[in-house]
Structures are given as structure tokens and as C-alpha cells.
Amino acid sequence: MQDVQACQNAFSLPNGWQVQAAGEQRWLLKGTGERPLQVTLKCITELGNTLEHPAVTAELGPLEPKRMSVQFASWGEAVDSGYPIRALQRRIVPGTEVQEIAELPRADRSNPNAPHGLLMLRWDEEDASHIQQRKAFIATLTQSLEAPGTAKNTTGTAP
């Protein structure tokens, strides 16, 4: 397994995945196979409005309410995951592309300038390979995530 240490967070990637530096405080996490899923990790200090944050707009494009639907999604369940995360999904309608935005926990919650990670990905909801890679990424991330100062649930029961 490949480990990622960035934005004051540490987590593992599924077997075969690669990490590539892609600019200042930005990394590409690449899946496997013919159509590898690609996740962008960007360190940010202030999130504000997740849907219209400049980092999200730069990576995924602007939110287009007339063409997109927006909903929350859970990454990992408290029962089987060390660290469940809430993500926002933007779906382009009509079409099969789903854009997801998830925020990693802030390491130092008392410091509003402490960096934390923003994960952004695009996947095709009709591509079995993308679905499998996304599930593997989320499972590995939520089970291995370690944020300084937070207690990780390793037993599968409520902390």
C-alpha cells in the first residue's frame, strides 16, 4: 500500500495506486487499470462554501445549477470505517459524470489557519472500473486516515 502524508493528514491508498506531486500543496492520486480514477488532493486553510471554493472551481469547473444536481454522500460508515467523511456530489444532468468533493479533518481545530486536505474527483457512474476504484479508495482512506489530535476508531464501535 502507498501512504500519503499531506495537509497534516496521513492515509493509505489501495494497492497499485500512485501519488504524484502536481504543484504547490497539490497532489494527484491515481488509480489503476485502463481508465484510472484520478483524485486531486489540495491543501487549503479556509474552505468557506465547498461548492464554489476557488480550489474546487479550478479543478472541477464552476457549479452550474441549471445543469447539475447536488447532494451529500457518506464516505464510509461508522460501523466499518475508522473515519467516516461527508462528501458533496455534483452530477451533470443528463450524463453519467459525478464530481465529488470531500474535506479531510483539520488537524488543529483551534487554529483556523491550519491546513487540511480537500479531495476532488470525477468518476463515471456507468463505468464499473471507476465504481470499483472509487469504492476501494474510500474504504482504504476512511479506514487508514489519521489526523493529528483525533482519536481514530479502530475497533468498529463508537469511540
Per-residue pLDDT of 111-152, as tens digits, reads: 777 777 889 999 999 999 999 999 999 999 988 887 554 444
Q: How confident is the model at residue 44 (pLDDT cuts 50, 70, 90)?
A: confident
What is the predicted pLDDT for the residue at 153?
39
Here the cell at position 150 is 483525533
The CATH number for 2-144, chosen from 3.40.50, 3.40.1000, 3.90.550, 2.60.40, is 3.40.1000
What 3 state SS string does 119-154 have? EEEEEECCCHHHHHHHHHHHHHHHHHCECCCCCCCC
Nearest to 87 by CA among 127, 43, 121, 41: 121
DSSP-derived letter for residue 87 is E
Q: How confident is the model at residue 107 (pLDDT cuts 50, 70, 90)?
A: low
Cα 101 to Cα 88: distance, rounded to the nearest angstrom = 5
Per-residue pLDDT of 81-103, as tens digits, reads: 556 688 889 998 888 999 999 98
Strand positions, DSSP E, 15-111: 18-21, 26-30, 38-44, 68-75, 85-92, 97-103
What is the predicted pLDDT for the residue at 120?
93
Is the pTM higher than 0.85? The answer reads no
Give the residue extent of every domain in the chain. 2-144
Cα 134 to Cα 110: distance, rounded to the nearest angstrom = 32
What is the predicted pLDDT for the residue at 1?
53
Q: How confident is the model at residue 49 (pLDDT cuts 50, 70, 90)?
A: low
